[in-house]
């Protein structure tokens, strides 16, 4: 009780504040997304995501080197194929863009942690995350394609596969396929709590116009109005099917669910700081309305305080460099 207790004693200078900090950020907390595209000598800046580009394989090392120099230890690949078809065959082709990126990167950077996003939406001509028939996304026929994709990524060198499709049963199908193929040490980072969110807008451009050509994804991604019970149920199903990590996506509007997942499961929790969250900060910073560094670091601290063990973020390189500057 005041005056005996004075909380300001814990804040009286920078060193005291650092000593008492309960949440600490480091480059090791971050997973950096990289977009790879078929072609040569390509570095396409994504207009809605300033500072983020699509890279051809002959130039992707430029971005990987930047990430490594900042102290980042993990990257996740998203692919833009040269061609798309109804079944998304580019996702599980042995010479697919992600497979080639994984093999190339594994050979050059053997200690870098490599993740690959497992979904069909970037590879299907209709833009949906699964097999489409008469305007409906078919759950069960999609599962073997996702499993085949995950195994091909593991064979190419992925440490972790990350299914983002939100089909029921996909974690179990992928885990079984990986084990049957001998990849028992390849982990599954499941997009377990993933919402049909308006925050994904800029990603559609980054991923090569991956928007659905008909309908939307609301029949398989979660409704933002759903509550904790559905989030826990989704995560529990993925845990029972063998996932090693649980992703909550997006992050900022769903930090309550990051906390709930953290408190209910022992698997590491990953917050995905998505494209729309990134772009809003970038736009405000470019207009001089906010201090980008302070806002970004505060947001990332908030995600960790809510319970995330790691963060997928497009801010990763900037944040890692800012943290180094503060040391």
For helices 292-306 and 275-286, what crossing angle results, to 10°?
150
Nearest of 108, 118, 128 to residue 77 by alpha carbon: 118
The residues annotated with a catalytic role in the active site are 194, 249
Nearest of 93, 79, 97, 184 to residue 145 by alpha carbon: 93
Nearest of 167, 157, 105, 162 to residue 132 by alpha carbon: 167
**Cα–Cα distances in angstroms (integers) from residue 285 to residues 112, 201, 253, 293, in the given order:** 31, 19, 20, 9
Q: Quick one: CA dihedral 280, 286, 287, 293, positive or negative?
A: positive
**Cα–Cα distances in angstroms (integers) from residue 182 to residues 155, 170, 178, 227, in the given order:** 10, 18, 6, 38
Taking the CB of residue 73, how many other CB atoms lie within 10 A of it? Answer: 17
Taking the CB of residue 82, how many other CB atoms lie within 10 A of it? Answer: 10
- Residue 149: which residues within 8 A CB-CB, separation 6 or more? 91, 92, 118, 120
Query: Taking a C-beta distance cutoff of 8 angstroms, is the pair 117, 312 a contact?
Result: no
Query: Taking a C-beta distance cutoff of 8 angstroms, is the pair 128, 121 a contact?
Result: yes
H or E segment and range at residue 313 = strand 310-313
């Amino acid at each position: 009780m005041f005056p005996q207790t004075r909380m300001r004693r814990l804040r009286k200078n920078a060193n005291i504040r650092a000593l008492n900090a309960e949440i600490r950020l480091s480059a090791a907390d971050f997973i950096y997304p990289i977009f790879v595209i078929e072609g040569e000598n390509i570095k396409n800046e994504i207009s809605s995501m300033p500072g983020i580009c699509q890279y051809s394989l002959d130039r992707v090392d430029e971005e990987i080197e930047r990430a490594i120099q900042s102290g980042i230890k993990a990257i996740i690949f998203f692919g833009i194929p040269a061609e798309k078809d109804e079944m998304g065959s580019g996702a599980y082709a042995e010479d697919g863009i992600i497979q080639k990126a994984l093999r190339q990167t594994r050979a050059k950077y053997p200690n870098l942690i490599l993740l690959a996003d497992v979904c069909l939406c970037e590879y299907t001509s209709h833009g949906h995350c699964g097999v489409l028939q008469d305007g409906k996304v078919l759950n069960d026929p999609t599962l073997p394609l996702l499993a085949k994709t995950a195994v091909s990524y593991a064979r190419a060198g992925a440490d972790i596969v990350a299914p983002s499709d939100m089909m029921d049963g996909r974690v179990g199908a992928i885990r079984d396929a990986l084990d049957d193929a001998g990849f028992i040490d390849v982990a599954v980072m499941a997009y377990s709590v993933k919402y049909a969110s308006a925050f994904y807008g800029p990603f559609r451009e980054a991923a090569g116009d991956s928007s659905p050509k008909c309908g939307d994804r609301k029949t398989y991604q979660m409704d933002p109005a759903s509550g904790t019970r559905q989030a826990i149920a989704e995560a529990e199903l993925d845990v029972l099917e063998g996932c090693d990590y649980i992703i909550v996506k997006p992050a900022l509007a769903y930090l309550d669910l990051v906390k709930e997942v953290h408190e209910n499961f022992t698997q590491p929790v990953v917050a995905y700081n998505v494209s729309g969250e990134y772009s809003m900060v970038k736009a405000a910073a470019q207009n001089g309305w906010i201090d980008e560094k302070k806002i970004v670091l505060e947001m990332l601290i908030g995600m960790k305080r809510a319970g995330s063990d790691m963060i997928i973020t497009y801010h990763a390189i900037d944040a890692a460099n800012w943290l180094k500057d503060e040391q």
